[in-house]
Structure formats: C-alpha cells, structure tokens
C-alpha cells in the first residue's frame, strides 16, 4: 500500500508562481495567501513544504500525462501518431499547444525545492534529522528535474535561490548551459546522498539514499565520468537494499508499485479527482499515461505503434529453454500465440492490426482483470517508475566497461539482469566494443518503452544518424494517414537534424522573458 501518496496539500505557499516567466499584471499581493513570514514556523510547515515539492510530479501536466510527450516518445522505439498543433510527432514546434504545460510544471517543482532550502533554517528548534531529510529530498528533487530539463532542452536557466520579493524581474533568468546544469545536478545529488536515509520506515514514495546515489551515478554516466559513475552504482549494488523482482512483468502493474526493484518512482493514485492543475485541490493524479499509450481501439489517444526492430531484437535470441525472451511478451503485443491484450484476450483474436506491433508495457494490458473500458488511465494508480534496479545494473555495466573495469564485474551486473528472465550468460572474452554493443542491446530488451531511450541515443552521440538511418521504422506504414511516414504528413521523410536533439523552449516563455533565448535552430 502506498503510505506516501503525493497529493497537493501545500496550497500555493511561497512558491512565486508556476513558471519562470510572469507579467506585470501578476505583481499583486493576495491578502489571503500564506507568506514566507507566516509559514516557516514549525515541523508541520516543513513537512507540508516537502509534500508540496513532490506535488507537480504526479499531475496531468507532469508525469501523469504530458511530460512523456517531450521526453520519452521521440526515440526510435515508436512510430508516433500525429495531430496538428499537438506534440504527437518527433519534431516539436515551439508553438505546440501542450509544450507550455510541461515547462512550468518543472519550474514549479524547482521553485518549491529552492524555497525549502532557503527558508528551512528559519524554523525554530527544528529536529536535525527532520531538517536533514527535508533538505535531502529537496536537493534530490531539484537534481532530478534539472536532469530531465537539461536532457530535453539543453540550455535552460539555472535557478537555485528562492524569490524574495514581489518583482517579476526575479523570474527573468537567462539560459544557462549543460555543463553548468550538470555541475549543479551532481552537487545536489551528492548532498542528497549525504542527507537521506536508506528508507523512511515504511513511507513509500520519498527519495532515499539509494535514489540519490543512483541519480548521482547517472549524472556521472551522462557526463562520461566513467569511473565515478561505476563507483556510485557499485556502492548501490553492494548495499543489498534493492534486488530484481522475480516477476519482470510485476514492475508494470499497480500491484508492483514500490517493489524491491524500485529505486524511485512517481506516485499516482486511483482516487477520483477533478481538474488538471497541480495547484487545484484534488486535481487528477492518476496514471493517465496508461490510457494515452493504449491502442486507439481501447481508448488510447497516442495511437503509437512499436517499430519492428524492437521485436526483432527480442526474437534474435532464445532463453535457456529455447523459448522466446519473456520480456517480449511483457513489452509488446503482436501476432504471436502467447501474446495477449486486455482481459488476457489473445492478440490474434483482437481487433488490432495483425501485421503491426503495439506497446503492452504501461498500457494497462498487464493489469489482471483490466477491461477494455476506453478509460484505462483515469481509474489507475499505477506509478511511473523512473529508476529501476535493473537499470542501475545495466548502467553499472556500461560505466565499468567504458572505464576499462574488470570483466567479471561488468558481466556480473549484465548477467544478473538476464538471469532473472532465464536468458543465457553473456560469454567471457569479448572486446570492449563487443561488450558495449551487448550492453546497449540489453538496455533495449530490458528497458524498452520506459524512460530514457532518446537520452541514451543523445548521450551516445548517435541520435541523428539513428533517427534518419533507421529504415526499419518504415515497417509501421499502413493505411492510417496519421503515421509520420505517410505521404503528406508534415514529418514525411523524417528530416531529423541536430536541432531536434533538444526541444524548443515554448514560444510563450520567450515572449514573456526578455532574458530567455530560443534554442539554436528554432
């Protein structure tokens, strides 16, 4: 059971608006609002502030629905659907109408963490452990959101201080650069690691020492500090706090929320809710991303199809019993005797196109008894897993390999992931390049359709070539006119260029903040 469901109980609080760009019409005082002078009085205020900092993560504008539009669906895994003026394709336009929803939600969280870190010393007689834990969570959340901001947008502002006045000039911050952002991420993650406990005595959903250690290692990995990354991941592995869930599919069900494999996940709730804004009490915090990823015939909106090369990767190697890699049947739905969809209906008997491959992971298909009710996300409390222990193992294998680490250590992490699903060990004696290829392939087999594929391609320096040269994406072309390679589609021919490795900053933000410049090329 989720004992720490992230709900918005923090009101608007000291948080200075929802985006880093305001206008003069908002420079007014609300006599009914809490202020920094009246708020930071006791431990209860601190706990409310921490919960309020988590709040933007689970909303519809956050991980509940729209953040994946910009961050996760742009890789070579999918042939996304498309609708005009919506972020439905691969190449995003600065005027996309949903892009502005994601940008302010990220800054809302960052402003709240800044407020905690700047004001917690004002609370009289605060227990040191309570203080450490609150600060640790604030450092972690700020690092986490800057990690995704810098990977999605590259040149974002770096704001680490809470606003202290009423002037909108405090929000007119200029762009920073990825180097400076990563320096801050590493600083924050290291401080979070120092301050956070291994657990919160049964309270699920809070950032812990393990989450901070994994994020620190990930920041080192993305900046190619291989030895430092490997050391962080190895420390986490050796802590024995986490393990692989024996049932791979359990990671993608509500029953598997906060399991032994979960290092950090966004908490969702199935409780009935209204509204979309994180600053509205009882706003929706359910797993709407499930309904969006579902096939259109079952209430889905994204109409995504999986590119055939993913399936081919699964079919290229059998397990120790000569059977198909069971992760394929969790990740994908396609015309195979064992492939099922909702209510365990055989794929071959469904209305889905028998010649195409559909996402199964994070669509609700793995939920026992989930009916084809056309409203798959609204009633689901399935969490969004951001860091799984399996990912930690694979990141450790990658970092250790790039750092010329011991083959035994590399294979121990890699084969531990494979052993969970009865796949044969990777043999010894491979070259560094051969191991790199095997590790990258294992990331596809283990992590497809989850979080970081686009970011992986980007950090490996292959995203442009991969997106333009991946001819096997064409396999999803069919009679539907909304597929990106259909003739007449704005993205037909897939003119992916270096500018598309980063999202454009929303045009509304550029217009309202004179210090903020658009990303190059837009």
Lowest mean pLDDT among 88-97, 310-319, 473-482: 473-482
Q: Which residues pair with 262 in a beta bridge?
A: 388
Task: Identify which has the larger pLDDT, 63 or 470.
Answer: 63
Q: What integer is the mean pLDDT of 349-359? A: 90
* 322 token code pair: 């000569």
Confidence of residue 474 (pLDDT cuts 50, 70, 90): very low
- For tokens 């990825």, name the residue: 178
Q: What is the spatial distance between Cα 95 and Cα 499, in angstroms, rounded to a whole number?
A: 16
Quote the pLDDT of residue 53. Answer: 95
Spell out the CATH class of 10-208+483-522.
mainly alpha
pTM of the model: 0.89
Q: How many angstroms from the chain centroid is the CA of residue 333?
A: 22
For position 123, what pLDDT does the model report? 96
What does the block give as tokens for 198?
Answer: 């291994």
Q: Taking a C-beta distance cutoff of 8 angstroms, is the pair 415, 259 a contact?
A: no
Mean pLDDT to the nearest integer, 1-6: 44
- Inter-CA distances, 274 with 48, 67, 109, Å: 21, 19, 21
The stretch 181-199 carries a mean pLDDT of 98
| Contact between residue 216 and residue 235 where contact means Cβ atoms under 8 Å apart | no
Which among 66-70, 312-316, 495-499 has the top mean pLDDT?
312-316
Question: Residue 81: which of 476, 498, 496, 347 has the closest Cα?
Answer: 476
pLDDT, residue 58, reads 87
Q: Cα 424–365–317 angle (5° rounding)?
A: 20
Question: Are 352 and 333 within 8 A, CB to CB?
Answer: yes
pLDDT of 313 strictly over 70: yes
pLDDT tier at 113, thresholds 50, 70, 90: very high
Q: What pLDDT is stored for residue 96 in this prediction?
A: 72
Q: What percent of the chain has pLDDT over 90?
A: 56
Backbone angles phi, psi at 305, to 5 degrees: -130, 150
């Amino acid at each position: 059971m989720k004992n720490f469901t992230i709900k918005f109980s923090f009101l608007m609080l000291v948080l200075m608006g929802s985006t880093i760009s305001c206008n003069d019409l908002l420079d007014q005082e609300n006599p009914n609002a809490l202020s920094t002078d009246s708020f930071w009085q006791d431990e209860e205020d601190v706990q409310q502030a921490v919960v309020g900092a988590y709040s933007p993560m689970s909303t519809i504008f956050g991980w509940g629905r729209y953040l994946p539009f910009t961050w996760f669906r742009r890789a070579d895994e999918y042939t996304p659907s498309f609708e005009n003026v919506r972020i439905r394709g691969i190449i995003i336009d600065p005027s996309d109408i949903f892009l502005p929803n994601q940008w302010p939600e990220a800054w809302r969280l960052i402003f709240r963490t800044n407020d905690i870190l700047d004001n917690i010393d004002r609370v009289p007689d605060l227990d040191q452990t309570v203080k450490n834990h609150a600060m640790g969570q604030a450092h972690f959340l700020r690092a986490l959101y800057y990690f995704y901001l810098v990977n999605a947008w590259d040149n974002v502002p770096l704001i680490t201080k809470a606003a202290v006045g009423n002037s909108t000039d405090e929000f007119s911050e200029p762009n920073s650069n990825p180097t400076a952002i990563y320096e801050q991420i590493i600083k924050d993650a290291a401080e979070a690691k120092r301050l956070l406990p291994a657990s919160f005595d049964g309270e699920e959903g809070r950032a812990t020492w393990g989450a901070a250690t994994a994020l620190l290692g990930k920041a080192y990995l993305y900046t190619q500090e291989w030895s430092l990354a490997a050391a962080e991941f190895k420390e986490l592995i050796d802590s024995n706090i986490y393990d692989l869930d024996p049932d791979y599919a359990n990671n993608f069900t509500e029953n598997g929320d906060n399991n032994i494999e979960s290092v950090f996940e966004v908490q969702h709730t199935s409780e009935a809710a209204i509204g979309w804004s994180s600053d509205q009490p009882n706003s929706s915090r359910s797993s709407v991303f499930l309904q969006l990823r579902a096939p259109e015939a079952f209430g889905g909106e994204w109409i995504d199809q999986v590119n055939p090369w993913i399936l081919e990767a699964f079919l290229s190697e059998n397990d120790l019993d000569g059977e198909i890699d069971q992760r394929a049947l969790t990740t994908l739905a396609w015309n195979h005797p064992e492939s099922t969809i909702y209510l365990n209906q055989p794929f071959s008997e469904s209305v889905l196109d028998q010649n195409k491959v559909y996402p199964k992971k994070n669509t609700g298909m793995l939920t026992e008894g989930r009916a084809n009710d056309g409203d798959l996300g609204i009633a689901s409390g399935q969490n969004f897993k951001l860091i799984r222990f399996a990912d930690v193992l694979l990141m450790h294998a990658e970092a250790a390999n790039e750092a010329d680490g011991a083959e035994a250590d590399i294979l121990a992490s890699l084969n531990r992931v494979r052993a969970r699903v009865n796949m044969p060990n990777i043999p010894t004696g491979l070259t560094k390049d051969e191991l790199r290829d095997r590790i990258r392939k294992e990331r596809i087999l283990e992590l497809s359709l989850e979080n970081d594929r686009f970011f992986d391609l980007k950090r490996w320096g292959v995203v442009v070539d991969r997106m333009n040269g991946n001819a096997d994406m064409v396999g999803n072309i069919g009679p539907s006119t909304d597929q990106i390679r259909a003739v007449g589609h704005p993205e037909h021919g897939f003119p992916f260029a270096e500018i598309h490795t980063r999202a454009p900053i929303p045009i509304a933000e550029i217009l309202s903040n004179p210090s903020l410049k658009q990303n190059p090329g837009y």
